[in-house]
Each structure stands twice: as structure tokens, then as C-alpha cells.
Structure 1
Amino acid sequence: MPNKNHLRIIADRQLEESGEVKFNYGFGENEDEANIEPNYIFMARAFRDDLRSYRSDIEVKAAAKNKTIDVPFDVDYLEVDFMGQFHLEKYYSIWYNTFGLEGVSFTNFNRTALFSIADQDKFQVFISSVEGLINRGLDDNTEADFNKNVLFVKNFKLLTLSDVLQVSAENIGNVVVLKTIELPASPVIEKGILDALESYLTIHQISYEINRETHRLELYDATLDELIAIAQNFDVIESITSSLSGVVRPGVYNIPSRDFGFEIANADEELPLIGILDTGISMQTPLASITLRDDTFTLDGNPLIDDCGNDGHGTMVAALAALGRHNHSNNFEGEITADAKLLSIKLIGSGDGYLSEKKVIELLYKAKEKYPQLGIFVLTICYKTHKRTNEAFSNYTYELDKFAHETDSLIFISIGNNSQAMNENVDYDLNYFNNEHTNLNTPADSMNNMTVGAAADGLYDGAFNGIAPGKEFPAIYSRTDHIDLTVIYSVKKRNKNLFKPDVIEGGGDYGFYNPTTIDFMDNAAMSVLSSNPALGYTKEVGTSLAAPLTANLAAKLKIVYPDLKSQTLKALIINGASLKNIVYPDVNKPLLNRTSGYGLIDANRTIFSDENSATMILEDSIQSGEQKIYPVNFPHYLISTSLGKTNRVLKITATLCFSFLPLQHNQLTYCPIHIAFSIFKNHSSDDINRVQRLLNSKLRTTLSWSQSARDKSTPAPYSNVQKIEFNVDVAQLRSEGKTFKLAVQALLSNQIMASQIENYPTKFNFSLVLNIEETVRANTGRLYDELRAINNVEVINVAEADLEGEI
């Protein structure tokens, strides 16, 4: 059937009503975890040990100070683990005013806080309360006095050198990253210490780059002794970490040498531009005709040379991004048509290296400034160390999310490869993904960008040769999500939308060397372009192949719909992805999204509609506290014509994506914006908000808001990607007068520190993709045209409406 272009919902004309967000139902409104009655004996024992350690550590810290180093202020920091979630709106000012403790960082989804001791006199109230509770619990002194807020404390400790210094002599490298602490209530102290630190670095000839706005400092070629001195004397350093990174590639193959044997036929056309952040792009390949001859974007040598290993890395990534699935699965035979042009942004020259994250971000902004049309990037260079379970966002991830939001860009990031997988498995075992060391690598936890895992598909015809149960399954080396809300939240309070990767795409697989041994096998891998003319092609597997293939799909979308926003591209790709053929045993189903995201991408479903399946796109904005209602009108023939069945005549798949300005120092509100959506009965905004027992607006009992912000006492983190799927019966269409209501609501979190909320925007852009398809045996061929006729929509890029591209 012929391809049809997607439809754009004309937002201001389709909008029926704008109401208020109201939560008149649900759980958690009156819950107060701070009122948990503790066991005084066990708490007193923990406090006694913590207090002894604190007093010992404070003496050690003071003794380690170098009196010859001129630092105007000393600051101590207290790390506190709480019994439950520390509610900023309720307790932040209490802890500051009562205990003299200024919250500067919140992790473990607000169950762990780092406080600066801003007022030593008030801090003695905390110490006295700890002593009082110890007396109450261990000495059974019922008269012992303590402030009730310490009852919420599980453990506390001084921030020490071992907490700050997270590098060793073996992994320092030539670049280390210092995360500095923001002191909103004490800006003079923060500035004074940072000024002194810069003077110290200059005097000692330690090369550095500092960004005070983003609270990060990079040191180059510093010794371990120098790092120790800095950590011990300048009390504004939260962490010192290594930036060791590597290209995402688990193995290298070499197949018989042959020429490239193809040329790109449309190199002179106007095509989308993709930035390849990698090891360079070789100009000794046919990619030279579609690569900009710009050698200015590099951190390590000429970006138009790729000499990583024997056959390069950036070159094969670039080829997958520009030439896509069809040309690679077709072995580059026939006329080769590119989907994008390329800009080489060289980060490292070899397979491994220490990245200057600050310089990477600068390259991104400079590339965007020089080429404003550049909005798609591929990044397959990740940290080599996996993230710990529920570990907070890094500065690097924060900077990439901020860049994407500010520039309307989309970076396709590899989730990372687990190189141990081949040696730790003898078969494909889903239980293996439960190991923490299979967690993703920084910056694959980025929320505004797109994280891609690898499916076992090697883009070859014929029988599947990998170890996975099928080519749609995630490859055993592909990493998993590091977020596990089950250890923190009850079942009802978890955000089911919070996971990575976003999607998976072909990356090749391992093969069976013999029935009990897995290894790199040519027939299970993917054939990719080499930078070495003597080889022509090579065999590879890895998530570094999946990410550029997904970026290629974004480029195809830009060809057909050049004006779509980046988050709309993301929503389209996710909406078209499917988990249909990835069937896990019941015991492993909790791993499904954590390993496969929203599933394997589907190019044709993503790019085009057809006469029986219409995709409608809504790009709009919404205010905090606002709830918008858009009617979705369905054709009369669906209730008046015999369709062969009356149940499940339509399937609706909808995805919402939005970017946001990320917030540092608070893991829970890194994404501080709650935007949710769903499709309801033909009701008003007020009716949709009513208590369900009084008026049920749900089309199905399982179909509610895509995420919830109604629990104010212990909120779960928000997701900026949400997807719903459900079937529609004829009876529902008839009872609702052939109209359903698409509702979108927004709310800014109340868990934001005062210093962050002051200038935070209150109006947010969002992208929503809605696919409606017939699921009857004999399709009518009427759905697309009739949906178009009765809704306020327009065909996107109407001049190309009859385009049928090669997918």
C-alpha cells in the first residue's frame, strides 16, 4: 500500500479546553514518613558509632590541613542517610534554621543528603540531639532531650578525603574531573575558596579549566599528591573522578580484503547533517564525498583521519549513520544513496583515552554555532566504568542534557558494551543482566538524548546465527539500565516509564564456537565499512553500531519532515518501536524494558503512515499547573460498517517526549517537570479530574495517566518519555459519540531548592505522537483520509506527500 506522510495536529485549533491540574484521588497525600516511630535502642547504637567516627574524622581532617596554603574559609560537610525520603519543601528550611545545615546535594532519590555545616552554633543542636537520643536509647533516660527531626536520620558521617578522592595512582590519567559544591546560602564562602584554589593551581603550574556555572573543574596531568592536597585543603570539592573513556567495541574481525566497490550517487544533494563524535572519519573511503572538509573539531589529531586500530572506528560509525540499514544489509550493491552528510568531531585517536568533558561540550556548542542546521549527533565513546545501581547523574550527563535542551539537538548515545559477557556466559542467559556490572556507562543515562542498546540482528539475510533466541532480542553484551526503584519504592509508587535504553537496534551477536563456548563469529556479526582501503570491510559487533543506525532513522525523518523538533523525532522513533517479538519468561519480565527499552525500531512504521494507519503529531507547549484537552474524532464508518468484528477494531499507540533544563545536586528532581498524558472518555477537564468512584473517565481500567505526580510526600522521579498502547472497541466509540479526549497536564516539582526554582521556566514544550491503526482482517483503506477530514490536521510537508523512500 502507498506510503502517506504523517499528519500534524494544528494545536490551537484542535485544543478544546484548558483547565487546571487537580489531584482529588490516589494515595500518599497524607503520608508523613518523618513520623515513623523508631526503635531507640538500635538507633542509639548507630548514632553512638556515627558520633565517634564523626569526632575522629573531624580531628583527622583538621590535622591534615596545610597551614602554608592560603584558604580563607574552612567548611565541613555532613552526609546523612534518612529513614525515608527527605522532603525539601517541608524540611529544607527546618534543617537549615534548626541545625545550621545547608543542603547542597541530594542523591538516592532524596534519601541521602550532603549538608554543609553553615552555622556551627546551630549545628551543636544536632550534636546535642544525637547525644540525647543515645542517652534515651542506651541509658533508658526518659528525660533525655532531643529534637524530633533526628528521628528521621538513619546514619550520618563527615565527608572525608576517601569520599572525595575517587581515583588511584593507576587510573588518574591526564585528565581528572573535580565536581565542586554550590553553596547558595554562602556564595561569598564558595567564591572565596574557589578563588584561592585557582590561585593555588596557577602558582603550582597545574593546568586547569573551570566552569563555575556548572560547578566543574578539570585538571590536566595532575599527580596523586597534588589531588590529595587539593582535596584536603579546599573545602569545596565533592568528588574527584577519572574521565577514562573508550569506544564501544567488543571485538574486531577481518574478512578477506576487497575494494569498497561503491560510490554515493547523491552526494550533491541537500541532506541532513550528522555530527560523529568518535575517532575521526577516513577520507580514503567513499564517505569522503559526503563528509564536510572541516578539520577544526578535534581533541586528538586530524578529524579527517581515522587510524583507530587496524580498521578504524569512527568511519564505520559514520557509514552506518549516513548509509543506514538498507545499504549495509544489501552489502552496498547497486546504487548507493546516502541519507545524511557528515561532520567529523574527533574526541580520541585510539580506542581508549581520558576525555576532557569540558572540551567535548565546547566542541558541541561550536559545531552547532557554525552549522545551525546540525541537530543530530552520534556518541559511542562512553566511560569504561559502569554506573552503580541508582547512582546519580554525572556532570558529563548533565552537560549533554543541557546542550540538547538549549540547542534542540538529539545525541544518539550507545548504552555501552559489557566486554566481560563473552567470558562469563556459555549461552544466552537473561538472568545475567541482573548483575550490577552489566549496568550502563556514563553518559548513557542522559534523559534529553536517546540511548540505544544493541539487538542481536546483524543485518544479514537467511538464518539467524547468533546466540540470542532471535535477532530482535538484546545482545548479551548490551548493557542494562542502572535504575532500580524496587529497592526504594513500593509497587504503586514506582515510575514505570523510567528506564534505559530507549530502543534497541541491530548490533550483531556472538556465535557458538562450539556448543558450550561463545566467541566472536563472522557469521553472527555485522559487515561494516573499514577505514583501511586494504580491507574494504570488516566484521564487528557492538552497541556502537546500533546507535548510528538509529541516528540514520532520525536523518530519514528529517528528509521527509525537515521542520520537526528533535523531541518529536525521538517520540516518532519510540512510538514505532516494538517489543512484540521479544518475549521473556515471566520470571525475567522485570528485565524487559531495562534491557530492550521500548523495543526494536521499525523504520517504515516510524517514517510513514498509510491508508489504514495514521500517525498524528502534536507539538505544543503547556504551563505548570495547566491541563489541556484535545478531542480526537473518529470516522463514522467505524460504528456504521460491518468490520468483521466489534472488539479491538483499532489499536492506539501514543508517545510523549519533552526536553527539560536539568537540575544539578538533586537526583530526584534532575527532571523537575511532570508532564503526563492519557486518552479518556469524551469528558471535560473537570470530569477527568473527578474521583473515579464518582465519575470514571477511563476508557479502560488499566489506562490511566502515563505517570503520576499526585503523591506529594514521597514522589517518584519523573520521566520525560512515556508511551501507552491500548485497543478500541466499537462499543466505546459508540458510547463516546466517536470522540475521545487526549489530555495533557504539567506541574513543576515542589522538591526544588529555592536557589534553583527562582529563574526556572514555567512553560514547557512537548511532542506527542499518536498512531491509530485498523486491526480488522480486511482493512477498509478509509482510516487515514477520514481522520484527516474530521480533525484539525494537515499533511506534513505536503509537497512530498506521495514520497515513497527506500527504507
Structure 2
Amino acid sequence: MYPHLIYTNPPQVDKFSQPNRVPGEKPKDTDQPNYAPMQQDFSASLAKFNLDRARRAEGRTLPVPAHIDYIRIRFFSVFDNAKFESRYRSNFGLVPVLSDEFNQRILFAIANDDRFQNFLNEILNFINADQHEKDQRQYNSDLLFIKGFELLTSPDILPSIDIPSDVILNLVDSHLDITSIRESINGALASYLESNEIRYEFVDGNSTIQLWDVTSAELTEVVNNFDVITSVRPNAFGVISPDRYGIASRSFGFQPVLPDNEIPIIGIIDTGISDQTPLAELIMNPRENDPYDLTRTNARIDNWDNTWGHGTGVAGIAAFGHKLHSRVSGQVQADARLLSIKALSPRNPRVSDNAISEAIRRANKELDVRIFVLTISENIKDDNEPISALAYELDLLAYELNILICIASGNMRRNMIDALGQMLPYPKHFSDAENNIHSPAESMNNLTVGAIADNLEANLFVAGIANDKTAPAIYSSKFHINLDSATLTQNQANKQLVKPDILYYGGDHEITGDKSRTGISVLTPKIGQYFVRETGTSYAAPFVANLAARILGEYPRLSMQTVKAIIVNSATVPKLDETFTPVSKSVLNNVLGKGIPSEPICLKSTDHEATIILEDGILPGQIQTYSLKLPDYLLISKKATGLLEFQLTLCFKFKPIQHSQSTYCPIHIGFGVFRNAELSQIASGKLDDQYDKETNERTSKGHRLRTGWSQDPYYRGKLLCNTQKTSFIVGKKELIDEQNTFVIVLSSQFSKLLTETQKAEYAQENEFTIAIRVHERPAKGEYIDSLYEGIRLVNNLSTLIELDADLEAEATAE
């Protein structure tokens, strides 16, 4: 076993030029479109808009110093911010404040009433027009892109919540055109809440206000009068764990042992960690004045449900991984210390996002905590719903602090067995929206974990619902972005964008719902119980955190995006049996993510499988190439085809853009593996796929090796992804043709929907990591030499351990 390699050779850099794929001029359509139905729709929309606006004005009963209305416009296609945002502002007085439906629906603030009157006049002109030829139109042609429009009303903002108590108000962002009005209304809202003794907290980081113990009447009054609110949702957390059928064990039977070297600390954002268990000596929390006890109920007590606890079980797995189970005895070496960030307690109000964010920041600053586990969740996400405020906050934290939060994807909340005693139709049930991930599992800078049925105890895995241990567990959840949705075009979809990122051990249920034989064995703080069998993605997530801690234990100076890349790159998508045939490929992709990580591959390389880490940065508009040579001994192998298998994973963090679904990730970084070519050829695009100008059909596969680019940012509105993985096979002929050398190519661009102002803000180098795994597959298992040593020598690579030693020596010298 060997330490992983680090690529230290400098890249070649050039400007990136993306070739044009647009075909030649298409024949002009001589038929005049029939605008009569659109005119009728606009007429009805205008009448309703004016009526709703008058009613909203009448519903304002409080002396608020300023008001602002919002119009929601749905477009026939993607709203191009870069092209149209300034025109809508200057011509119509409209400022975009929120986008959803993949930038096909935009919420605009009416920032200038005089200019907005121009919009209404142009609508009337269109309704009354009888000439629509381009040179005869008596209305603004931009209206032709509009499918419909409506006022944002109180019923739109306030969902059907029977007895509101704790809620979150989502606010409009601070845009230059409406900043003074927004701040004036915010001040009035704060005064109202204080005078009515409603507990509240502004969360500036994600543009929300959190309210506690608010009545329905008060909430309705707030929505009717204070025009800074775009939506309201319940302010609630819940633990991610199905109902229990557990059977407990008789004793703890083990004692933690700390290694001689420093080990990472894992922050457990949960229901507390009981110090009445062997975990006590691993807990870093102070016994008094604990800033990480967000519920003020003692972070060293786990009294969830007053019985089993939840955080303690999660913490046990995070600290020990697969070493901890009901039959463990004696001394067991811990892989991590524990910090209990108690964010949930029975009969206590939901803690604020600010409190969670501040606790994470404090833990990172004061204790150097870089790994966190989050197994409490909010709502199940609707199909194609934009990213939540909490997920946005967690993405910001990961971007700013170099941390990694392992987030449970969420469990199915409906009963597995219906009133007639029938089990859900596994695995067909995955297609239902009820099995979508839970917020904030859509966080993109962090690592989202679903569950497989494996309970780590082969002899006990009997009578489970899943036919195989590596199959996704029945309760695991899928990504909420529906690739089969009519609102998401093929040009916008991105198969690399998926949550959960990976799957890990979570246990299974039997067809009766029981899990006493098929569940994972976890610690419980209940006196006399010690261990209980459980299931859930909330137990898969800490397994991954433990794996991350072990990687950091081996290579302490790695960035957390590199740790993420190593974990994802080690994963293998499970092979599913015929029971999954009825489930579409897009749904399976959303369930399986990038697959199941391999612990040995994450930690070490071997003679015949080498992992190479490439860490660097790239500016938008640049292309960079990195040559990778393969050892000469491969050319005398008896195997001609499929000699080498490559797995490559790219990870990078980004500063997200809130309230903009299609530009939430505003930066494209993608990679490809090319044959042995000059940078000038690659940068010019000459080696990309070639297209016929008349038919736009591909005429050449270019000079790329097998896979092409990891993601394609060509089309406006494309959903960009910051975790990408690809794999391919190389034979001996390709090695000979390319003189044993391949070129890894990175390119970066802005999202094509960014405005010039946004581009200026993001015009900076973005760090990235590519994990490259090369696996030799010789004929009949007859290896000739060490692939690891061969790659290290011909590329002049260092090991991660050598790099750590060099950096430590430099730090000591300074």
C-alpha cells in the first residue's frame, strides 16, 4: 500500500475559444404567426393583474413607510439576464429579484412606476395591434417572448399552513434600485415584530427572517403589509430516521483509544451526544458555558424522544466507522474526536440558521473543525424546486471556510406499509416526488449521502426488501431535479448534477417493516440498552464523515474539496438486478448518484492502482493542460484492449448566487482527456467535435479520448455542476499512437446568463481538484511491473506524505 501521488508539474495555459455549433441560416418561415390567442391571454392577464394590484393596495392596513409590488413573468424560453436585464430595467422599470423554473419564470420588482406604466401601455398596444410584421409593430418586440404575467399576491406568498407557529420568511435580495425601499420596509417590519412581542431573527447571510410563535392572523398581516417577502415556509427541523423497530444489545463492551498522532474533530449537528457512553472522552464540548449548545439543554445530553437518542448513534459511527457494532469489545481506536453542536431538542423551538452558521464558524476557527455531519432536515423538496435558504447558507460556509458537511439526503416519510398491509412497490416508488431529497441536502459545495441496504453484517442480512446489499435502501431519497420534466429542456439538463452524491451503509427493512435483523447497529444513550438496530440516511452520512476523517488523518493538509473528490472518485455505481428495469435511467441516476465509495481506494494506492491528486486554480476564459505519461512496460503487456481503466473526478467550490436557479453555480469548470496534442490545437477548438454547417450533425469525434468534456456549458441556461466524474478504458494501441502520453484539459467560463456586473465580481481564479485513478487490468492477472512506481517516476510526482513533510518543514523554517 502506498500514499497517493500529487501532481506538481506546471500546466500550459491559454485563452479558451469555444467553437460555434450554430448551423447555417435556416429557411425563413413565411407564415405569419397567429397572435390572437396570445392577445386574448394578455388581455385576461392584464385585467387580473390590475384587479389583484388594487386588492393588494386595499389589504395594506398598517402605516408602513414604503411599498413595492412584484410582477411574475413566465417566458417561452430561458430569460437571458445578460441580454435583457438592462432593457427591462430601463424600458419597463423592472428589476429581477428571483428566478425559478430554470430561468423561465422571473419575479420582478416594480422599481419605477413611471417606466412600469410603459410596460402596461405596451401590453395594451400589443392587445390592440392588428399588424405584427417586424417593421410595422406598434409595440415593444420584447413582449413576444412573454408567455404570461401576474402580480405576486398574498396567497402566492403564504401557503396553506393551518396553525403557523415557527416560520421562515424569504426576503428579496438587496438590489441597487430597491435598496432604500427594502431597508425602510425591513425597519418597519422589525418594529412591528417587536411591538407585537413576536420573537424574530434576521438572517442576513441567506436573506430570511425566522419567526417563532406567530399566529395565523399576525402572519397574514405581515404578508399583506410588508412588501419584502417572496414566500413563507415552516421553520422546522426533524431528525432523519424512520420509525423504530429496534432490538437493543446488553452492554457497550468497548473502550475508545486515541492514537498517538492528532486526529480530526467532527462536528455533529444533531440532538446532542450523550456523555453517559464510551464517547464521553471523545467529546470536545466544555461542561459549562458551551457555545455549541444551541438549544440550551446541554449538548452532552441526547434526550431525543426521551428514549433512544439520535445524535449519539450518529456520533458513534462518525468516530469509529464500521469498527463500532453490537459485538465490538475491548479497546477500539477512534478515528476522530467529536464536537456536539446541539441544534434540535424535543419541545424546544427550532434554532435559527444564524445560530447554526455561527457555531460552524466558531468550531472551524477555534478548534479547526473541517468535517461536519448534518442529519436533521427541513421539508421534502418539490420537483424542480430552487435551492433553499439553508442549503445556500451551507454552501457559503463551505466556500469561505474550507470545510465539508456530510449531509443526509433524507428518508422517505410515508409509511412503507399501507392500510391494507401492502408494502410500497420497491423500487418503482423511487419515481414519486414523495421520495425526493430533503432540504438542505441540495447543497452543492458539500457532500450529500444516500443509503444502501447493507448493514455491514453479512450473516444478519436476511429477508431484506432489497435483493442485494448494494442496492439503494427503500427509504433513501432521490434528487428533486426531474430530467423528464417539461420545464427542463435537453439543453439545460446536466446529468452530472445529481444528489445524493454517493451512497453508503444504512441498513434495510424486512417486508413487515421490521429492522431488528437488517438494521445498522448504533449506540443509544438509553440506560441498559447500549446498542440498537436502526436504518436511515442519517447513519450513512456519518460513515462518510468517518471516511473523510481517516483521509485527513493520512493527509492532513488536503483541502476539503480534495477530500470530497477522493471519496467520489473511489465510488462505484452498484449493479442492479432486473427488479430495477421498470425504473427510468434518469430516476436511477438521481437515486444512485456517483455510487458507493471504497474505503481502501480512498486511503491508499497500490502497485497496480494509482490515485493522483491534481490541485490548481483557473480563471474564467482560460484553458489549461496537464500531461500524464504512462510507463513503457505497458507496451509489452499481452493484453491489447482494456489494459487501463481511468476514473477522474473534478470538484471545486463556488460562491453561489441566491434566488437565481439557473446561475446558482455561476462558474463552469470542466475537463476532458485528450490525446497527445499541442495546447494551441486544443485551445482553438480544432480538436473538438466537428459539425456540418447545414445540418449541424457531428462529422467528427475530434481528438478527445473516449469521454469528451465532463460537462457542456455551450447553451444558455445550462445547469452547471461542481462535482463531475467520468471514466474510460485505454488499450495498448492508443498508448502506442500517443507515445504513452495523454493530456488532461481544464476549461473555465462564466455562465452565459451572467450580467457584466456579475462577471466582474466573479473574475477571479477558482481552485479545483481532479482526482485521477488509473487501474491496470492485465491479461490473466499477470502483472509485469508496478504501475504506481512507473507513473511516479516518468511524471516526476511526489507523494502526498512527502508534500506534507515539505510544507511542514517550510512552516517550521518560517
Q: TM-score normalised to the size of structure 1?
A: 0.92
Matched, 1:413 2:407: yes
Q: 2:640 aligns with which of 646, 649, 669?
A: 646
Does residue 77 of structure 1 match 2:75? no
**How far 1:235 sits from its partner (Å)?**
1.2
| Partner of residue 494, structure 1 | 493
Cα distance change of structure 1 residues 29 and 798 upon mapping to structure 2, 3 Å threshold: farther
Q: Which segment is superposed worse, 768-777 or 688-697? A: 688-697
Equivalent position of 2:111 in the other structure: 118
Asked whether 1:220 is paired with 2:212, we answer: yes
DSSP 3-state at the match of 1:715? coil
Aligned residue in 1 for 2:809: none
Could you list the per-position Cα deviations for residues 220-279 of structure 1 after superposition, in whole angstroms to 9, with x for gaps in the alignment? 322222222221112111122211110001022342541111101226652110000000
Change (3 A) 1:186 1:590: closer
Q: Would you say 1:569 and 2:563 are equivalent positions?
A: yes
Deviation at 1:588, TM superposition (A): 2.7
The aligned residue for residue 100 of structure 2 is 107
CA distance in 2, matches of 1:721, 1:158: 38
Aligned pair partner of 2:740 in 732, 738, 741: 738
Secondary structure at the counterpart of residue 21 of structure 2: coil
Query: Mapping of 1:494-533 within 5 angstroms?
Result: 494-513=493-512, 519-533=513-527
Q: Secondary structure at the match of 1:115?
A: strand
Residue in 2 that maps onto 1:49 = 44
In 2, are the aligned partners of 1:179 and 1:240 still within 8 Å (CA)?
no
Going from structure 1 to structure 2, the CA distance change for 1:19 and 1:582 (only over 3 Å counts) comes to: farther
Contact 1:101 1:117 in 2 (8 A): yes
Contact 1:612 1:780 in 2 (8 A): no
Moved more, 555-564 or 229-238: 229-238
Deviation of residue 601 (structure 1)? 1.5
Deviation at 1:195, TM superposition (A): 2.2
* 1:290-329 aligned within 5 A: 290-294=282-286, 295-300=290-295, 301-309=297-305, 310-328=307-325
Aligned match of 1:238 in 221, 227, 230?
Answer: 230
- The AA in structure 2 aligned to 1:795 is T
1:705 aligns with 2:709: yes
Mapping 1:332-371, distance limit 5 Å: 332-350=328-346, 354-371=350-367
Alpha-carbon shift at residue 175 of structure 1 (Å): 4.6
For the residue of structure 1 that corresponds to 2:676, the secondary structure is coil
Give, as a single letter, the amino acid of the residue that structure 2 aligns with 1:651.
E
Residues in 2 aligned to 1:751 and 1:244: alpha-carbon distance in whole angstroms: 34
Query: What is the match of residue 796 of structure 1?
Result: 800
Partners of 1:180 and 1:237 within 8 A in 2: yes
**Corresponding residue for 1:92?**
85
SS in 1 for 2:304: coil
Cα offset, 1:592, TM superposition: 2.1
User: Is the alpha carbon distance of 1:143 and 1:572 closer, same or farther for their aligned partners in structure 2, counting shifts above 3 Å?
Assistant: closer
Deviates more, 1:548-557 or 1:576-585: 576-585
Distance 2:498 2:276 in 1: 40
* Secondary structure in structure 1 of the residue aligned to 2:108: strand
Distance of aligned partners of 1:525 and 1:452 in 2 relative to their CA distance in 1, 3 Å threshold: same
Report deviation, 1:529: 0.8
Task: Evaluate the alpha carbon distance shift between residue 167 and residue 761 of structure 1 in structure 2; reply closer, same or farther with a 3 A threshold.
Answer: farther
Which digits, 9 at most, give the CA deviation of each residue in 1:712-766, with x for residues without a partner? xx33110000001000011111111110000011112242346644433521000
Q: C-alpha offsets along residues 676-724 of structure 1, whole Å, 9 cap, x if unaligned?
A: 0011011122312215349865344x5111011222xx33110000001
Choose 199-208 or 666-675, whichever is displaced more: 199-208
Alpha-carbon shift at residue 181 of structure 1 (Å): 3.9
CA-to-aligned-CA distance 1:80-112 (integer Å, 9 cap, x gap): 111000001111111111111111111111101
**What letter corresponds to residue 623 of structure 1 in structure 2?**
L
Deviation of 1:132 (Å): 3.0
User: Percent identity between the aligned chains?
Assistant: 34
More divergent stretch after superposition (17-26 vs 105-114): 17-26
Pairing 1:149–2:129 present: no
1:70 Cα shift? Answer: 3.2
Point out where structure 2 has 5 or more consecutive residues left out of the alignment.
691-698, 806-814
For 2:786, the equivalent position in structure 1 comes to 782
- Shift of residue 429, structure 1, vs aligned partner: 2.4
Tell me if the contact between 2:201 and 2:352 (Cα under 8 Å) persists in the aligned partners. no
What's 2:696 paired with?
A: none
2:480 pairs with 1:475: no
Q: Is 2:585 aligned against 1:585?
A: no
Q: Which deviates more, 436-445 or 202-211?
A: 202-211
Q: Counterpart amino acid of 2:506?
A: G
**2:449, 2:199 → 1: CA distance?**
35
Code of the residue aligned with 1:322 in structure 2: it is A
Distance, in Å, in 2 between the alignment partners of 1:202 and 1:378 is 35
Work out the CA distance in 2 between the residues paired with 1:421 and 1:596: 22
Determine the structure 1 residue equivalent to 2:810.
none
* Equivalent in 127, 132, 135 of residue 128 of structure 2: 135
Superposition TM-score, scaled by structure 2 size: 0.91
Contact 2:13 2:623 in 1 (8 A): yes
Q: How far 1:647 sits from its partner (Å)?
A: 0.4
Match of 1:558 among 552, 565, 585: 552
Q: Which amino acid aligns with 1:52?
A: A
Whichever residue aligns with residue 538 of structure 1, its letter is V
Q: Aligned letter for 2:319?
A: A
1:318 aligns to what SS in structure 2?
helix
Deviates more, 1:690-699 or 1:37-46: 690-699
Letter in 2 for 1:159: L
| Letter aligned with residue 469 of structure 1 | N
Q: Give the Cα separation in 2 of the matches to 1:576 and 1:209.
A: 42
Residue in structure 2 matching 1:608, options 595, 604, 608? 604
State the secondary structure of the residue aligned to 1:555: helix
Amino acid at match of 1:191: E
> 1:331 deviation in Å?
2.9
Query: 1:26: how far off?
Result: 3.4
Instruction: Choose which of 19, 35, 41 in structure 2 pairs with 1:40.
Output: 35
- Residue 334 of structure 2 is aligned to residue 377 of structure 1: no
In 2: Cα distance, 1:178 partner to 1:669 partner: 19
Give the match for residue 811 of structure 2: none
What SS does the aligned partner of 1:156 have?
A: strand
Q: Within 5 A, what are the aligned runs for 1:278-297?
A: 278-294=270-286, 295-297=290-292
The answer on 1:207 being equivalent to 2:212 is: no
The C-alpha deviation readout for 1:589-639, integer Å capped at 9, x for no partner, is 222220011111211111111000000001111111111100000101111
Match of 1:64 in 2: 59
- Do the aligned partners of 1:38 and 1:151 also contact (CA within 8 Å) in 2? no
Code of the aligned partner of 1:508? G
**How far did residue 360 of structure 1 move?**
1.4
Matches within 5 A, 1:159-170: 159-166=152-159, 168-170=161-163
The answer as to whether partners of 1:387 and 1:439 remain within 8 angstroms in 2 is yes
1:280–1:314 CA contact under 8 A, matched in 2: yes
Q: Deviations over 1:113-166 (max 9, x none)?
A: 0011122222222222322333348999x9883221111111110000011223
Match for residue 531 of structure 2 among 524, 527, 537: 537
Q: Distance in 2 between matches of 1:647 and 1:403?
A: 46
Q: Secondary structure at the match of 2:742?
A: strand
- Amino acid in structure 2 at the alignment position of 1:698: H
Counterparts of 1:788 and 1:382, CA distance in 2: 44
For 2:801, the aligned partner's letter is: N
Look up the match of 1:805. none
Structure 1 window deviating more from structure 2 (790-799 vs 770-779): it is 790-799
